């Protein structure tokens, strides 16, 4: 969330205006209406990138268990087709993280339709998507955006907790590595301060 992003209100409005076709059943194992991978492919093209093949394969599902994720993927495609994203140079790693990681976590917590109909869930979806691409809503400080996101989103809280644990683990490993005798033995420098 290091970078200032679009207006929150605009994106919330955009979700309210979601065309109902986006919530039609996704195509799974030859049945269903919405070709989710094709939607994502189009979105990447719209923002000036090529969608990674491996990611598209993961969206061409044959498993019923992926239904909720695919439905929410379609909703996120609609959200990211907003003019602000199209004219902004969106980072590919951030986009991939949205579809590969964020959407899956959010889809486990609630149905796609709730992320459209329920005001809190709607805001959660917008904020999580922005955060994964390192944006925060326009006019908010990093601290405000972080506070609001973690108060709204159990998914984000879980992710932050995991990230904080991972950071603590790495810090502990660094301290341990530096304290080991092997590290103390050091390595050759041509002078010693």
- Contacting positions for another protein (CB under 8 A): 2-3, 142-143, 167, 170-175, 177-193
End-to-end CA distance of the chain: give it in Å, rounded: 40
Other residues' Cβ atoms within 10 Å of the Cβ of residue 65: 8
The gap from C-alpha 90 to its chain's centroid, in whole angstroms, comes to 13
Residues whose CB falls within 8 Å of the CB of residue 147, separated by 6 or more in sequence, listed in order? none
CB of 171 to another protein, least distance (A): 4
Q: Are 95 and 47 in contact (CB under 8 A)?
A: yes
* Nearer of residues 6 and 26 to another protein, judged by Cβ: 6
Nearest CB to another protein, comparing residues 118 and 134:
134
Question: 53 or 185, CB closer to another protein?
Answer: 185
Residue 50 beta carbon to another protein: minimum distance, rounded to whole angstroms = 24
Cβ nearer to another protein, comparing 24 with 177: 177
Helix axes 154-179, 119-132, angle to 10 degrees: 30
We find the least distance from the C-beta atom of residue 138 to another protein, in angstroms, to be 14
DSSP per-residue string spanning 81-92: TSHHHHHS---H
Minimum Å distance from CB 69 to another protein? Answer: 29
User: CA-based angle 52:81:38, to the nearest 5?
Assistant: 45
DSSP assignment of 117-135, as one string? HSHHHHHHHHHHHHHHTTE
For 17, counting Cβ atoms within 10 Å of its Cβ (0-12 exposed, 13-18 middle, 19+ buried), the class is exposed
Minimum separation from the CB atom of position 52 to another protein (A): 21
Of residues 94 and 104, the one with the C-beta less far from another protein: 94
In the complex, minimum distance from the CB of residue 141 to another protein, in angstroms, rounded to a whole number? 8
Q: Of 21 and 143, which CB lies nearer to another protein in the complex structure?
A: 143
């Amino acid at each position: 969330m290091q970078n200032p992003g679009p207006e929150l209100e605009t994106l919330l409005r955009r979700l309210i205006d979601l065309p109902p076709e986006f919530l039609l059943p996704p195509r799974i194992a030859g049945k269903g209406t919405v070709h989710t991978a094709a939607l994502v492919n189009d979105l990447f093209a719209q923002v000036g990138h090529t969608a990674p093949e491996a990611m598209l394969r993961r969206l061409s599902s044959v498993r019923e268990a992926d239904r909720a994720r695919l439905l929410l993927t379609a909703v996120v495609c609609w959200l990211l087709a907003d003019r602000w994203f199209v004219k902004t140079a969106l980072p590919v790693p951030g986009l991939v993280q949205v579809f590969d990681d964020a959407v899956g976590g959010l889809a486990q917590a609630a149905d796609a339709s709730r992320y459209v109909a329920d005001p809190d869930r709607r805001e959660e979806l917008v904020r999580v998507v922005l955060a994964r691409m390192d944006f925060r809503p326009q006019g908010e400080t990093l601290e405000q955006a972080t506070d609001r996101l973690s108060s709204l989103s159990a998914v984000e809280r879980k992710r932050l907790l995991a990230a904080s644990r991972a950071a603590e683990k790495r810090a502990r490993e660094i301290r341990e590595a530096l304290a080991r005798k092997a590290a103390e033995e050091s390595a050759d420098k041509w002078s010693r301060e």
